[in-house]
Structure 1
Amino acid sequence: MGKPERVAEGVYIVGGPQITEGRDCCVYLVDGGSELALVDTGLGYTTRTILTNMEKLGLNPALLKYVIVTHGHIDHIGGLRYFQERGAQVICHELESDAVTGGNSKLTAASYYRVNYRGVPVDKLLTGELQEVLVGNTVLHCLHTPGHTPGGISPYLDVKGTRILFGQDIHGPFDSSWGSNMKHWRESMGKLIALKADILCEGHFGIYQPAVKVRSYIEYYLSQHS
């Protein structure tokens, strides 16, 4: 297995298929100094390992203030209850709230993983095209990028001239039962290309950089679903 590691200043990967367990999405952490934020949580069976990985990187889990939900699939939200019970606030787009709260279990794709999901209340709902979340001294821009799911978001931040994008599940898959929309997805991929990110923190396949590789990665999947 791999180890948790620093991606860039203030950004770390603390979980994922090669770090915690194969069914987890990649779990990232944003360090805003006085506060920390997780981007997704994994399936939910490795939450304590994620905290241990934070400590290995010299980060204090007690500073964890937010969990940013990129979308409501179980491999991304299964650990929400654990972190919320430790004091973290759950943030998601309003169009993902039925999945996150457990109001519509089909939207979580939990049956695909043959696990049960226990919904949690959402502490802050994001609305519209773009909203900012302040994590300590860091601004996390949460861009609405529907397609894979209706309320998917792709957060990004800028650190000393470097743009870091959390583009979870750019590759899909797509299923109408959880609200996939290919037209919306293509439009969302156009938004991501326009960001000209220097580093892509992808949802299952890890880190892509520099900017030319980020663009190529997105364009490859656009070509597969043209």
Structure 2
Amino acid sequence: MGKPHKICERVYMVGGPEITDGRDCCVYLVDGASELALVDAGLGYSCEKIMNNIEKLGLDKSLLKILVATHGHIDHIGGLGYFKDTGLKVACHELELNAVAGGRPELTAERYYGVKYRPVSVDIVLKGELQEIAVGDLTLRCVLTPGHTPGGISPYVDAGGTRVLFGQDIHGPFDSSWGSDRKKWKNSMQSLLALKADILCEGHYGVYQPAGEVKGYIETYLRRYTR
């Protein structure tokens, strides 16, 4: 297994297939100095490891205040109940509430993992095309990027002159049972390209940088799915 590590100033990887559990999505942490935020929660079996990894990085886990769920698939939200119980506020887009708060199994895709999801209440309901979440002295800008799911978001943060994009499921896949829409996905990818991010923190395949690699990664999937 790999170790939690710093990606750039203020951004860390604290969970994921190579760090906590092969079934987890990549879990990222944003350090806003006075507050910390997690981007996604993993499948749910690694929550204590994630908390321990925060400490291993020399960060104060008591400053962890917010968890932003990028979309409602269980490998991204399975750990929400644990983190909610520790006092974190959960944020997701209103178009993902049926999965995150409602727990509809066809939307959480829990059958793929054989794990039952425990629904949680959502404290911060994101609406519209763009909404900001303050994390200490930083701002997570949450861009609505439907396609993989109806209400998926791709947050990004500008820290120390570097734009970091959390594009969790750029690679798909697509399934009509959970509301995938390839046309909307294509438009979402164009929106992400327009951000000209310096670093991409992807949901399953790790980190891509510099900007040319970010652009190339997104364009690879655009070519694959829009032939």
Task: Tell me whether the two structures share a fold, i.e. TM-score over 0.5.
Answer: yes
Q: How far 1:101 sits from its partner (Å)?
A: 1.0
Question: What CA distance in whole angstroms lies between the structure 1 residues aligned with 2:177 and 2:189?
Answer: 21
Contact 2:94 2:126 in 1 (8 A): yes
Tell whether the 8 Å contact from 1:102 to 1:117 is kept in structure 2 after alignment. no
SS at match of 1:155: strand
**CA offset digits 1:169-226 (Å, max 9, x no partner):** 1000100000000000000000000000000000000000000000000000000001
Say if 2:70 and 2:153, in contact at 8 Å, map to a contact too: yes
Q: CA deviation at 1:160?
A: 2.2
What is the aligned partner in structure 2 of residue 96 from structure 1? 96
What per-residue deviation string (whole Å, max 9, x for no partner) do you get for residues 114-148 of structure 1?
11001000011000000000001111100000000
Listed as ranges, the matches of 1:1-150 within 5 Å are 1-150=1-150
Secondary structure at the aligned position of 1:91 is classed as: strand
1:178 and 1:66 map into 2 onto residues whose CA distance is: 26
Quote the residue 1:162 is aligned against: 162
> Could you say which residue in structure 1 is the equivalent of 2:199?
199
Distance 2:35 2:62 in 1: 9
Secondary structure of the corresponding residue to residue 158 of structure 2? strand
Q: CA RMSD in A?
A: 0.6
**Counterpart amino acid of 2:188?**
S
* Partner Cα separation in structure 1 for residue 216 and residue 71 of structure 2: 23
SS at match of 1:90: strand
1:173-184 pair list within 5 angstroms: 173-184=173-184
1:61 deviation in Å?
1.2
Cα distance, 1:103 vs. partner?
4.0
- Between 1:5-14 and 1:100-109, the stretch displaced more is 100-109
Partner of 1:171: 171
Query: 1:66 corresponds to which letter in structure 2?
Result: I
Shifted more, 159-168 versus 36-45: the winner is 159-168
Counterpart of 1:101, as a letter, is: A
Q: Is the 8 A contact 1:36 1:63 kept in 2?
A: yes
Residue type of the partner of 1:20? T
Q: How does 1:183-222 map to 2 (within 5 A)?
A: 183-222=183-222
Deviations 1:1-34 (A, max 9, x none): 1100001111000000000010000000001011
| Secondary structure in 2 matching 1:51 | helix
Paired amino acid for 2:29: L
Q: C-alpha displacement at 1:55, in angstroms?
A: 0.2
2:139 alignment partner, SS class? strand
Aligned length in residues: 226
Q: Which runs of 5+ in 1 are unaligned?
A: none
Q: Please identify runs of 4+ aligned residues in structure 1 that moved more than 3 A.
A: none
Show structure 2 runs of 5+ residues with no match.
Answer: none
* Matches of 1:6 and 1:67, distance apart in 2: 18
Structure-2 change in CA distance of 1:187 and 1:43 (3 Å): same
> Hey, what's the Cα distance between the residues in 1 that align with 2:5 and 2:87?
24
Q: Which secondary structure does the structure 1 equivalent of 2:45 belong to? A: coil
Q: TM-score, normalised by structure 2?
A: 0.99
Distance (Å, rounded) in 2 between the aligned partners of 1:53 and 1:209: 23
The residue type paired with residue 124 of structure 1 is I
Q: Distance in 2 between matches of 1:71 and 1:191?
A: 17
Question: Deviation at 1:102?
Answer: 3.0
